[in-house]
Amino acid sequence: MIESQDMAILLTLSIIMQARAVLVDMECGVVNNLMSGPIGELFDSRQTITDVSGAGNNWAHGNAVYGPQYREAITESVRRTVEFCDSLQSFFLLHSLGGGTGSGLGSYVMQLLSDEFQDVYRFSAPIIPSAQDDVVTSPYNSILTLNALTEYADCVIPMENQALFDITTKIAEAKGAKKGTAVTDVTLPGGKTPMPWDQMNQIAAHVLGNLTSGMRFEGSLNVDLNEITMNLVPFPRLHFLIPSLAPLCSFSDVNFEPRSLDQMFNDCFHRDFQLIKANPRASKYLAIGLLVRGDVHIAEANRNINRLQKDVDMIHWNQEGFKVGLCGTPPPGQKHAILGLSNNTCFKETLGAIHGRFNKLYRRKAHLHHYTEFIEESDVTDASEGISSLIEEYSALEGAVPPEEGPERFRPAF
């Protein structure tokens, strides 16, 4: 749950001493490791829900079997956590798309939250598997989950494994950083190479920390999560926001020359700083959010927006579609930080790539029998058609041009 003055962590968010989170996994190893690790004391052991066998990388098993089986326990845990909130703002679901629990049970939980807490915003931060994912059924799981998120989430901030891995690879391979070079070109003292998974998780954590900073710290122009959905989601189904981050890392064992504020604004619009393998600058922006942390005056932010506005292709009915947040407290070890959130038609490329991998399996009905044990084949085809429709909606907006005369037929639902 996300509450004002709270810090985001897992299914929900964190307070000063203990996380307001419900940890759910149908294979208990990860949760057990977390609870016995260095941050285990942050979590309430009574708020963990686990099984033993796992969902077998099968969306249908996680959704149709474990969902109903654990519905009452999950609902009760969420309600118990909500009771401690003085100003509940939203739920945040952190999950993967490729496996069985994160995808199938994650979809079930999102629908459960929609049913039980209709008036509370539902955010999702899913991890999109790469094309080289070792889970052969991940295309099925991804399509089914994305279709559920389209229907039941209010806002989705996806991060792609391949984009995160590429960023950490640049960090690990860099031999030296000179003044003015990108934050991805850094020096690792003594040849030390941090584990890529640690860095990938660190980047994802920075996204969520910056996203919720306006509720946790003072600022001259703070932004709450409800303002994100209000200003950056013009159509209910098109609520996928592509995150970018500058700087990309702040590890204590990495030495780099800090970027200037102007450079960091530029970085947020550069494909190397996007956490999705897509290029928004080559597509059409529907809306843009820039959440700035540190001692930054609104005049500096406006100057940079006016400078960048000339170079981005905004949809014709939302030429002024920039939302700016200013939080006075920077992340630890940094002078400034910027989180960019782009509602951009280029997300159809990501959807199209996933759908293409799905079609390669589905044309041969490969592995489909594992799913039809628990759900109807029509559920799979409906999800596929739902994502195809979403791609078409993005494509139509990318090709939209200003009308020559008369009122437009469709307007954004601000």
Q: Give residues with Cβ within 8 angstroms of 37, minimum separation 6.
A: none
Q: Distance between CA atoms of 104 and 380, rounded to whole angstroms? A: 12
Q: Distance between CA atoms of 414 and 4, rounded to whole angstroms? A: 24
Q: How far is CA 250 from the centre of its chain?
A: 20
Element (H, E) at 164: helix 161-173
Q: Distance between CA atoms of 235 and 233, rounded to whole angstroms? A: 6
Cβ burial of 383 (10 Å; 0-12, 13-18, 19+) is: buried
Q: Distance between CA atoms of 395 and 284, rounded to whole angstroms? A: 10
- Whether 160 is catalytic is no
Cβ burial of 344 (10 Å; 0-12, 13-18, 19+) is: buried
Which DSSP string do the residues of 99-151 spell out, in sequence order?
SSIIIIIHHHHHHHHHHH-TTSEEEEEEEEPPTT-S-TTHHHHHHHHHHHHHH
Tokens of 123: 């955010």
From the candidates 27, 116, 151, 227, give the one annotated as an active-site residue: 227
Tokens of 264: 């960091």
Torsion over CA: 96, 60, 48, 112 (sign): positive
Taking the chain, what is the end-to-end CA distance rounded to the nearest angstrom?
Answer: 25
Report phi then psi at 293, rounded to 5. -120, 145
Residue labelled with tokens 């960048």: 308
Q: Contact at 8 Å (CB) between 354 and 139?
A: yes
What residues act catalytically?
227
